Amino acid sequence: MKLHFARPILAAALALPLTLNALELTPRQMGNITLSTATVAPREAAATLTVNGTLRADQQRLFSVAPVVDGLVTELKVVAQTRVRKGQVLARLRSTTLGQAQTDYLEALALNEVAQADYLRIKALSDEGVVATSRLLAAESKYKMADAVLDQRYRELTLAGMNEAQIARLAQYPDDIAGYVLLSPADGMLLEVAIETGQMLAAGERAFRIADLSEVWADVQIPVARIGDVALGSQARIRVAAYPQQRFGGHLETLAGEVEVSSQTLSGRVVIDNKQGRLRPGMYVQAELTGIARSGLMVPASALFRRGNDSYVFVVKGPRQFAPVKVTTGRPTGGWVRIDTGLKVGDEVVSSGVAELKSHWQYQGDE
């Protein structure tokens, strides 16, 4: 219920006492104030907590690209701070170590083919009774040994970073050895290029750093006093200075295991959807976390006022009659306050204009 009147005139002398603790306004006083009321009812409300943070790349979506074997950079194909696609060639290299492994594989492949052909020829003759069994067994043993050596050489190439298709191509084009490429493992932003043409790279030395920024993290600090208001999975609305009118959605994924002593805050990590690519690591953000929902008898937080150390609300007793009632409350939650004692379901309380009523009440002489 809303009552709309003109600006308040504090004519407290005209206030007539209803009871010892109650207030009755005259028609003139009611005409000079604006009051809104709310009905006490069970309600579920969730607190909101606004915290600051800093964006960084999702650690699970960061990639370092390094050669598996040493090599000389013969061609650099990309530059830093550009977007790359999964499978895109980043650089070409040549490696004597890889070349030797490829040569060994091609030799083992040739010997295996010879041993296989010899075994099949002798087996056919053995089936016709032309050659002795001992000769067939010897040919079979030689073929199995050649097959085992080929398998070992194949594994050495896979350990050197070659995949099945590349090894098959090597067998078709045996003159193309010692050269290899570094490929992007994912779509993303090329954050760092640590090499240049003509540079010798050791095995495992980082050449590129790539970040898939379709999701980013925000590191936030939650005050110890508000830890109880949030939980893992709490929804978050993110705001950045670069796009003040836009809100980015996310959720609270982790909370630290210990409190930062000096600041008395707990670190949290918010995961944010960034498929549009507008957010960048290093940006400052403001995160509004939706807290744990709590239920109970609720009144608007604006309905409460203080008298000493106690909390009160004005309960509507009649058209111009208001009784200040002492209440005990829980923590404010999303603009609402849980009432533990003092009110019952259906009570009507003043939710705006409380300050004017309190002034009338004070001038009436109750305080």
CATH number of residue 334's parent domain: 2.40.420.20
Residues 31 and 161 in one domain: no
pLDDT reading at 139 higher than 80: yes
289 and 217 share one domain? yes
Residue 238: pLDDT over 80:
yes
Q: What is the CATH number of the domain that holds 270?
A: 2.40.30.170
Report, as an integer, the average pLDDT of 290-317.
Answer: 88
Q: What is the pLDDT of residue 131?
A: 86
pLDDT reading at 226 higher than 90: no
Indicate the pLDDT class of residue 21, thresholds 50, 70 and 90.
low
CB 69 within 8 A of CB 161: yes
Q: Are both 53 and 40 inside the same structural domain?
A: no
Q: pTM for this structure?
A: 0.66
Q: Is the pLDDT of residue 18 over 80?
A: no
Do 203 and 221 fall within a single domain? no
Q: Kindly state the average pLDDT of the residues 330-354.
A: 88
Considering the domain architecture, whether residues 71 and 190 belong to the same structural domain is answered as: yes
pLDDT for residue 218 is more than 80: yes
Domain final residue pick, 293, 315, 330: 293
Q: Provide the pLDDT for residue 365.
A: 56
Q: Given a cut of 50, is residue 9 above it in pLDDT?
A: no
Residues 197 and 336 in one domain: no
Clarify whether residues 77 and 206 are in a common domain.
yes
Percent of the chain with pLDDT over 90: 62
Give the residue from 237, 271, 293 where a domain finishes: 293
- d(CA 74, CA 89) in angstroms, rounded, equals 13
Based on the domain organization, do 254 and 125 belong to the same domain?
no
Residue 257 has pLDDT above 70, yes or no: yes
Bridge partners of residue 65, in order along the sequence: 208
Indicate if 306 and 326 belong to the same structural domain: yes
Are both 275 and 313 inside the same structural domain?
no
Rounded to 10 degrees, the C-alpha dihedral 181/186/192/193 comes to 10
Q: What is the pLDDT of residue 304?
A: 93
Is the model's pLDDT at 25 over the cut of 50? Answer: yes
Give the count of domains, the chain: 4
Does 153 lie in the same domain as 102? yes
Do residues 125 and 98 make contact, with C-beta atoms less than 8 angstroms apart?
A: no
Tell me the two tokens of residue 224: 């110890």
Give the separation between CA 228 and CA 231, rounded to whole angstroms. 8
Spatial contact of 276 and 215, defined as CB atoms under 8 Å apart: no
50-69 confidence digits (pLDDT tens) = 999 999 999 999 999 999 99
Neighbouring CB atoms inside 10 A of 6's CB total: 9
- Check residue 54 and give left, alpha or beta (phi > 0: left; psi -120 to 50: alpha): beta
CA nearest 220: which of 176, 294, 172, 272? 272
- Regarding whether 73 and 188 lie in a shared domain, the answer is yes
* Residue span of the structural domain in which 135 resides: 96-177
Which is higher by pLDDT, 322 or 15? 322
- Mean pLDDT for the chain? 88
> Of the residues 273, 293, 313, which one is the last residue of a structural domain?
293
Residue pLDDT, tens place only, 35-45: 899 999 888 87
* Widest distance between CA atoms in the chain: 133
